[in-house]
Structure 1
Amino acid sequence: MRDPDLDELRAELEEFAQPEKKASRSPREERIIAGFEEIQRFVDEHGRAPRHGEDRDIFERLYAVRLDRIRKLEDCRTLLAPLDRQGLLSGAGTTADAGSDDMDEDELAAELGTINGFEITELRHVRPSAEKRAAEEIASRQRCEDFSKFKPLFQKVQEELDAGVRETRPFELKAEIRPGAWFIVGGQKAYVADMGEVFTNDQGRSDARLRVIFDNGTESNMLMRSLQRALNKDEAGRRITEPVAGPLFSDQHGDEDQASGTIYVLRSKSDLPLVAENRDLVHKIGVTNMSVEQRIAGARLQPTFLMADVEVVATYKLFNINRSRLEKLIHRIFDPARLDIEIRDRFGNPVVPREWFLVPLSAIDEAIRKIRDGTIAGYVYDPQSAQLVRRGTE
């Protein structure tokens, strides 16, 4: 027969019994677990796995690199499997961006003073250049709250690039980085909206804080030298020229300017009723890389010249500009006044010339002036008033 007092005493003692000691973990295993828990906290906070990409926060980029490494190491997967409540080891629930981080794992880990890619809770001193890249080059981009103010500028620059009014050229000098300057870096157009006070950095070099707006609606408060490094590192990095890259429409040009051709404006001597009745308004506008005299030679035999002789009424020399893009731009501006006429060539075939417009010479002059000063994107041609008007007022 059991003694009830002894049973009660045994039960009480069991409550105070020392628990069984769990197998101790190595310092490396503790670091791996701690690092994985940080990734889990990131997923809890953001609802997704960490992603690669230069536009990401440097800690997120480190978590993404760390997770990739954990998945590749079998001993890490075995250790962490019981803790993987979010399915991270199998890749479930992740929406990682295509591609990988440009920085390799060791370099990115060094940015935060990590050990073996896992220990970031205790930052240690690393080489100064790495610390500066973490603080300066990897400046996090954020949403540009007033992007609606800059969006028309990006649209205008793209139009001017398409028209040849602006060009892209290799980035060369830090001096090219200034307020109002445009660049292409990382495949995106970048606009330097503002520049802070110039200061001397720890290396004794001049620098300044910039506000840089990107065409995807983000912005970065980065250093001038950081942008310089990014442009130099990017093989496709370019600067976008100002609308006037030299005397584009002038008889005066510098020694370094490259001749691109001539814009010519012609009047026809054709006896066609529509032409004869509007002789002072019917103009052909074209661009050529040869002399205008050569271009119009034998005009009476060519349907593009209405099978008649022509009179040259204006010419504009071109330097440092894309001829075909410029011609397309001019024709697009005056498209509402394009002459709708069909003639027969010398073999009797019907031809519809596309370079004749019912527009006064004064409007052509004004259009070319606005192309030259970079304001043409804000204007359209109004056939009713026979002049250029601001967009939205026609």
Structure 2
Amino acid sequence: MIRTRREAPKRRTLDDIFATPDELGLLAVTPPKSSAPSADQRMVATLQGIEVFMDTHGREPQEDATDLNEATLAVSLAALRSDPTKVVALADWDTRGLLVASTSDSHDVCHEDQPATSEEAEQGAGNGATEFSSPSPEKATVSPDSVTSLDDILDSDPLGLLSGGDESVESIFNLTHVPENSERDMPDEIAQRTHCDDFYRFEGLFDLVREELREGDAEAVPFQMESQIEEGDMFVLNGMLCIADQVGEESVGAGRKFNPRLRVVFDNGTESNLLLRSLARALYKDETGRRILRRDNTFDAMQGITHHDKRTGLIYILRSLSQDPALRGIRNLYKIGYTEKELDQRIAGAERQQTYLEAPVQIVTSFECYNLDPRRFERLVHAMLHHQRVNVLLHSRDGSTYRPREWFDVELDTAREIVRRIVDGTISQYRMDNTVGRLVKK
């Protein structure tokens, strides 16, 4: 057998790719034209803004003005005058001669046909009447292309706007025209999203609500008012389900309006200590913000059931409608069982199931289980009624035989009381009197 060995393909670099002829012109990309104004256009706009101010007020803008816009124009005018390059560039636009005018009220203008004498020049220099002076080396303007460090930026600051620490110097760090923030009553702490350590308590509830929304058993309606936020209420905020797990008793922040801090748990496993009005404001702003309406909430609240109470199943009591001769003589024949489904679904097709004695059944009563292990609950019921369990041998329709395990010969009131005592935790104080078939205190 002849084996051939292939060499590993050579990895191409970017230089190799760009060196390859581009027949389709895929690499010929024309850079987009910038729509931003150029530096010259910005200078012209600044000069025109100064002229508009002078037309309106009849004077040049002052740097010590209380109006921020006027002070800004004055600083811009001074910057243009101090830069000979800009003065030359704006010569055609400077129709008023603003950039060639002296900065002093007592200056002498030098005409080209009458040069100033040396004495006048010295006097003008002493009075600060010199029109332009070459910038000092440390304040020379730096080209943007040559800026390589922060020092280059600081050295190109002819007006000293980047200086700090001296309040007498105009600086961008001295907020002379910006009003200070007024003191307000602020909350002691700001809401932040953190990991929810007990998220396991809410995960099943979120899954249940999603299922209810899909089945139409719950409704998502637009949020309308803050008063709708109560403990246990659920919402959709920024695409996530959340629940107001706890509502504080005291208002936080300014104002008389009730504004407590909430514990809000989200379905992504996080929680936040939002203020009530902050949550309401977020729901208002969110176009998809919704309040979840559940059908059983009002009824549960009347029974004292909250979102912390987890529904785990259903204990039910059924009466058999069997016509079997072996069962017709049992007066108080009841089945006590448990289901996690809806009871109507559980007993559907009872005529075909040995669990229901292969006969129709009648629902007598049912008990919802919260915060309990329903299977353990069922075992306790069966243990209390051990001696009341029906002991008969029945023949199935398929020819086999079986003995029912969840059917009892017990009075209905006794069965109900056993269930109630298990729920309230007092079952340990009672026992079954097998003589009379009733529950009695120990």
In the superposition, the TM-score normalised over structure 2's length comes to 0.31
In the superposition, the TM-score normalised over structure 1's length comes to 0.35
User: Which protein has the larger Cα radius of gyration, Structure 1 or Structure 2?
Assistant: 2
- Structure with greater helix share of residues: 1
